[in-house]
Structure 1
Amino acid sequence: MVSTTSEIISQFVINQYKDGNYQTPLIIGINGPQGSGKTTTCEQVVTELSQKLAANVIALSIDDFLLTHNDQEKISRANPGNKLLEFRGLPGTHDIKLGSHILQSICNQLPIQIPHYDKSLHNGRGDRAPTSKWTLISSPIDIVLFEGWSLGFKHLSETCLKHIYESSLKYSSKSHLPSHKLEHLLTVNNFLKEYEREWYPYIDAFIHLDAKDINYAYEWRLQQEHTMRKRGLSGMSDAEVRDFVDRYMPAYELYVPALRDKCLFCSNDWDRDEDMGKLQREEHRMHKERSLRILLDRNRKVIDVFKNVL
């Protein structure tokens, strides 16, 4: 019998929790494309772990840390013509200080209010909800499931990004990169350094929900939007959803390969070749038990499960 995504994640988290090689709380990073079911899965895992471990388990999303609508418009105006920063979601459109403050408060076991981002506001463009809708988290917290579509993405060197970009111009008719200027991609790439520096050190273990075909994201995101509209909430049209997801595709193209091939916790300066040094290989082996990749089909069913090994 094939296990569900929530069952696999729950067992992985239980193993990490019982291992005890972390400072309380245990923070599990979870990456997955838009619509892959991260939020629903996390809700299921929170319920299951709370029962099995008698632990205080919470779910947290990088969406909670998105800039307000007004601040997002400021980012857009500061980067004219950069479609990647025109709307919410891409690296550079989150409140890094707010996220760091909340993560540190959780680690210090301080009561904290978690912001709520309402994606239905401004005709589906979204905005941070008023503080009356924020969630008060009581301490002590044992486990945090921290999820996000781009969580775990790590910046590429300028040389590497330029090489990928130039290759896409010459050899790939399906690439989304040529739809954007190189300097716009480099701007987003540089923003990723803030996430790596300020947020990633909090992550103790990491799970990558990987789609067999990243283009499933279009269908999955449409399903989410249709569900939201059925609930009577404002949302984007189908054409707007496609335009919205289009803006995410370059990031998937640039950063998902590294999530598949490397361990999140390894250094960011080694290449995928046979000349990888002995110490770098050992670094990968030392951390592989802290990483998991779950491959999903079009219906979000589990195809395979991988531990990150060389």
Structure 2
Amino acid sequence: MIDQFINEHKLGSAFVNTANEYYIPLANRIALHQKDAKKTFCVGINGCQGSGKSTLGDFLGTYLYQIHALKVVILSLDDFYLDQQQRQQLASTVHPLFRTRGVPGTHNTGLMHQVLEKLSGAGNTLALPKFNKAADNPYPTDQWATVSPPADVVILEGWCWGVEAQSQADLRKPVNQLESLEDSDAAWRNYVNEQLYTHYQPLYKLMNYWLMLKAPDFSNVYNWRLEQEQKLAASLTTMAHSNVMNAAQIERFIQFYQRLTEHGLATLPTRCNEVFELDSKRTIIKHHLAAQLTGTSC
């Protein structure tokens, strides 16, 4: 199973050790928690851009299905992005920086709540949102995957998933050039913070178990995000490359994420059930396992 997963995801041979030492025991713990809960068990994964959230989520889903025969649904915060027209409306009425996807306020949290609730109950076939990053818009709804609820395990991963709002004092000082030059009055970051508190934090309560892939610091994000964009470009035809970012665009793009990424690195580890500390090459160098569970059922 591991060899096939490595081939499908184009991973290095070192992933075998990561899987055997960390991810398989984690999957077994999740299966045990789900069995004890006797209902849909929701797992939240936090990690900065390029940290390996999608790989971890996919591996857990594959293992839980193949080894434990559990019905697993994997969701990404990215797939709930608003479309370009909706973000343009935000840019016109709130702040120009909302043209760019990424921060709280650029996701459809109402749809996210509906999907999470429906996955825990019996009902009709459910379509799962899917965002096309190359086109910077959601895929047409007829291309969304469908599932039949209820799910045994729901995995939701996201770069700011689990991060809580900052204090007003923390918002005053810009963290980078983008905020200093293009958000000098702090209107953008204040609105982001308000959205995080009002619409995202209530959804965190739906998670039963929290995982974090913890980067050494924000300086790693540029190289990791560049790798992601290069992989995206390699997977596309030449005609579809128009929205793939170059190095200079990535350098600007990650500044949108810096504030909450650094805030998450500083505050999330003590609130997660498990934290996997990474080095600059994304190798796990330390693992922290807490005893308690958080949240309620989905």
- Whether TM exceeds 0.5 here: the answer is yes
How many angstroms apart in 1 are the aligned matches of 2:51 and 2:23?
14
Query: Is 2:38 aligned against 1:38?
Result: no
How many angstroms apart in 2 are the aligned matches of 1:249 and 1:305?
24
Return closer, same or farther for 1:109/1:62 CA change in 2, 3 Å cut-off.
Answer: farther
- 1:166-245 equivalent positions in 2, closer than 5 A: 166=173, 178=180, 180-181=183-184, 182-193=186-197, 194-197=199-202, 199-231=203-235, 232=237, 233-234=240-241, 235-245=244-254
Judge conservation of contact 2:159–2:261 (CA < 8 Å) in 1.
no
Number of residue pairs aligned between Structure 1 and Structure 2: 267
Query: Is 2:297 aligned against 1:297?
Result: no
How many angstroms apart in 2 are the aligned matches of 1:146 and 1:23?
19
Judge conservation of contact 2:78–2:131 (CA < 8 Å) in 1.
yes
Query: Is 2:289 aligned against 1:307?
Result: yes
**TM-score, length basis structure 1:** 0.79
How many angstroms apart in 2 are the aligned matches of 1:300 and 1:5?
13
The equivalent position to 2:28 in structure 1, one of 11, 14, 27, is 14
The equivalent position to 1:98 in structure 2, one of 111, 122, 130, is 111
How many angstroms apart in 2 are the aligned matches of 1:14 and 1:192?
32
Gaps (5+ residues) in structure 2? Answer: 1-13, 292-298
How many angstroms apart in 2 are the aligned matches of 1:32 and 1:141?
24
How many angstroms apart in 2 are the aligned matches of 1:23 and 1:243?
46
What amino acid maps onto 1:202 in structure 2? L
Judge conservation of contact 2:118–2:150 (CA < 8 Å) in 1.
no
What amino acid maps onto 1:263 in structure 2? R
What amino acid maps onto 2:286 in structure 1? D
Partner SS for 2:271 = coil
Judge conservation of contact 2:216–2:280 (CA < 8 Å) in 1.
yes
Partner SS for 1:189 = helix
The equivalent position to 1:114 in structure 2, one of 125, 128, 132, is 128
Query: Is 2:271 aligned against 1:263?
Result: yes
How many angstroms apart in 1 are the aligned matches of 2:251 and 2:193?
23
Return closer, same or farther for 1:196/1:133 CA change in 2, 3 Å cut-off.
Answer: same
Aligned-residue offset at 1:190: 0.8
How many angstroms apart in 1 are the aligned matches of 2:20 and 2:127?
26
Aligned-residue offset at 1:308: 4.9
How many angstroms apart in 2 are the aligned matches of 1:24 and 1:6?
27
The equivalent position to 2:149 in structure 1, one of 124, 127, 139, is 139
Query: Is 2:111 aligned against 1:78?
Result: no
How many angstroms apart in 2 are the aligned matches of 1:24 and 1:222?
39
What amino acid maps onto 2:143 in structure 1? K
Partner SS for 2:39 = coil
How many angstroms apart in 2 are the aligned matches of 1:243 and 1:144?
33
Return closer, same or farther for 1:73/1:43 CA change in 2, 3 Å cut-off.
Answer: same
Judge conservation of contact 2:120–2:150 (CA < 8 Å) in 1.
no
Aligned-residue offset at 1:153: 0.6
The equivalent position to 2:73 in structure 1, one of 45, 58, 74, is 58
Structure 2 counterpart of 1:129: 139
Return closer, same or farther for 1:245/1:23 CA change in 2, 3 Å cut-off.
Answer: farther
How many angstroms apart in 2 are the aligned matches of 1:134 and 1:257?
36
Query: Is 2:41 aligned against 1:26?
Result: yes
Aligned-residue offset at 1:7: 5.6
How many angstroms apart in 2 are the aligned matches of 1:146 and 1:63?
10
Query: Is 2:102 aligned against 1:89?
Result: yes
Deviations 1:58-113 (A, max 9, x none): 211111211112111111222234x3x23101000001111111111101133310
How many angstroms apart in 1 are the aligned matches of 2:144 and 2:196?
26
Return closer, same or farther for 1:186/1:308 CA change in 2, 3 Å cut-off.
Answer: farther
Deviations 1:135-161 (A, max 9, x none): 1012331111110001001112324x2
Partner SS for 2:103 = coil
Gaps (5+ residues) in structure 1? Answer: 265-290
Partner SS for 1:4 = helix
